Amino acid sequence: MGRTHPINLQILLFAPDSKVDVIITIIEVMLIVMRTAYQYKLKPNKEQVSTIELWLDLLRRQYNYRLGERFSWWEENRCPVNACPLVMPIPQLRDNPNYYSQKRDLVNTKDKFPSYKLIHSKVLQDCRKQVKLAFDRWFKAEKNKQKLGKPRFNGIGCYRSFTYPQIKLDCIEENQINLPKIGKVKLIQHRPIPEGFIIKTVTISRKADGYYVTLSLEDKSVPALTSKVKPTLKNTLGIDMGLKEFLVTSEGELVPIPQYYRKSQQRLKTLQKRLYRKKKGSKRWLKAVKAVAKQHKKVADKRKDFHFKTANELLLKAEVIAHENLNIKGLAKTRLSKSINDAGWGKFLTILTVKAGNAGQKTIGIGVNPKNTSQDCSNCGKKVDKELNIRTHSCPYCGIVIDRDLNAAINIKNRAVGHSVLKARGVRRGTGTGKREAQTIASA
């Protein structure tokens, strides 16, 4: 879990000076309020597990009902009255069910269904807030003509977390956390809460291997700091992500690709065969489902740990990390989808962004145009065509012979800083290949 900071983004165009159409984002980070999150494993007893499961099921039903309320109103009132067909009766207009009206209706819910009185009132209110966020996110995307699926109704077992928006500051005592209306639950506190941080919210979540608590922490005593970074050849490190090696830096360092999913495929195959042979809905079937989910979580945890460690090592070496601005979602639909998803490029870039913000340093990430990064010569700028199976870059113009991925990493670095090696491709003449658009990934 990482820290997040309020960030001001200012876009600066360097084209007038360098004659290269590069857009770099300069970041002004005001570290006024520091937020971070710590996650601990919970060890609830049988009674507490029963309570948590009851809450999750009731909150699931309430979420579905409130979401259905909004969909019903939207279907009846999404077009103006003068645009409705005359052959259909016009329904009586109802007030738009927003967050506050649904929040006020909480009293009626508890009267009709007394079991909701067992749930903490703040948790129930937060459930309605999740409905609002889900619906607003979808509605906003539709207005902007973006592709985003409608919020889904949650099936049995699909509602996996709930949040206390407020909680006592001294809720943690030794190795226990005091959760309102649940009681003191044992937790494995593998690291202490930093001094000066206060607990803002508490989220209880259910995963394949048990229950976890996520503490959202805040510290208002951090001094303000404004940082501006301009990419240069000295402070920039280019990385070329691939499937043969996870990444190659412009300094020639290689990071091997671990392929955690492929290594666990045989184990997953065995577990899924056992699941297929069980009668659906039986106790043994549920046990087999849990075993498959645990194995998938183990793979995901290993990959996440690898991403965090790799990001930390990169941020210690340079102030600016330049990478290709790839269409990862599109690449994940090709025949290389399994390998691309196993590498987790998108997740790695997200973690790199968060860690850069955590460091409190002048660290940003820049995504450059990936066109011909492997074909262009990093020494003279001329284009040298080569097939994918050719892993060595040998330039007939300048005579340089280096690894293909290293050549791409150096090109990525040069494009991020607007290096003059691009002049060989006619950048000054304003050709299409000369436009190198860079996009920051440093907003956390």
Give the model's pLDDT for residue 18: 37
* Residue 424 DSSP label: G
Q: Quick one: pLDDT at residue 290?
A: 94
Cβ atoms 95, 72 nearer than 8 A: no
Confidence band of 88 (pLDDT split at 50, 70, 90)? low
The pLDDT of residue 60: 95
**Using 50, 70 and 90 to split pLDDT, how confident is the model at 93?**
low
239, pLDDT greater than 50: yes
Q: How far apart are the first and last CA of the chain?
A: 12
- Reply yes or no on whether the pLDDT at 325 is more than 90: no
One-letter amino acid of 60: R
pLDDT of residue 150: 84
What is residue 294's predicted lDDT score, i.e. its pLDDT? 95
DSSP string, 360-379: TSS-EEEEE--TTTTTB-TT
User: Rounded mean pLDDT of 316-327?
Assistant: 86
pLDDT at residue 269, rounded to an integer: 96
Is the separation of the CB atoms in 363 and 356 below 8 Å?
yes
Q: How many CB atoms lie within 10 A of CB 349?
A: 22
More confident residue, 139 or 110: 110
Q: Which amino acid is at 125?
A: Q
The pLDDT of residue 415 is 86
- Cα–Cα distances (Å) from 95 to 62, 63, 123, in that order, read 19, 19, 25
- Does pLDDT of 252 surpass 80? yes
DSSP type of residue 247: E
Q: How far is CA 161 from the centre of its chain?
A: 18
Position 317 pLDDT exceeds 70: yes
Query: pLDDT class for 227, splitting at 50, 70, 90?
Result: low
Return the pLDDT at 33. 57
* Order of strands across the sheet that contains 22-29: 7-13, 22-29, 436-437
Write out pLDDT tens, residues 297-315. 999 999 999 999 999 999 8
Q: How confident is the model at residue 419 (pLDDT cuts 50, 70, 90)?
A: low
pLDDT at 206: 95
Assign 259 a pLDDT band (cuts: 50, 70, 90).
Answer: very high
pLDDT tops 80 at residue 2: no
Whether 156 shows a pLDDT value over 80: the answer reads yes
If residue 9 lies in a helix (H) or strand (E), which one and from where to where?
Answer: strand 7-13
Alpha-carbon span 53 to 50, nearest angstrom: 5
| Average pLDDT score over the chain | 81
Alpha carbons 388 and 145: distance in angstroms, whole number? 37
Least-confidence region, from 111-115, 227-231, 334-338: 227-231
Report the pLDDT value the prediction gives residue 95, as an integer from 0 to 100: 77
The pLDDT score that the predictor gives to residue 298 is: 95
SS3 helix, strand, coil % of the chain, rounded to 5?
A: 40, 20, 35
Q: Which of 205-209, 290-294, 328-332 has the weakest average pLDDT?
A: 328-332
Read off the pLDDT of residues 30-63 as tens digits, 9 standing for 90 and up.
Answer: 444 577 889 999 999 999 999 999 999 999 999 9
CA distance 439 to 325: 8
Q: pLDDT at residue 19 above 60? A: no
Q: Is the pTM of this model over 0.85?
A: no
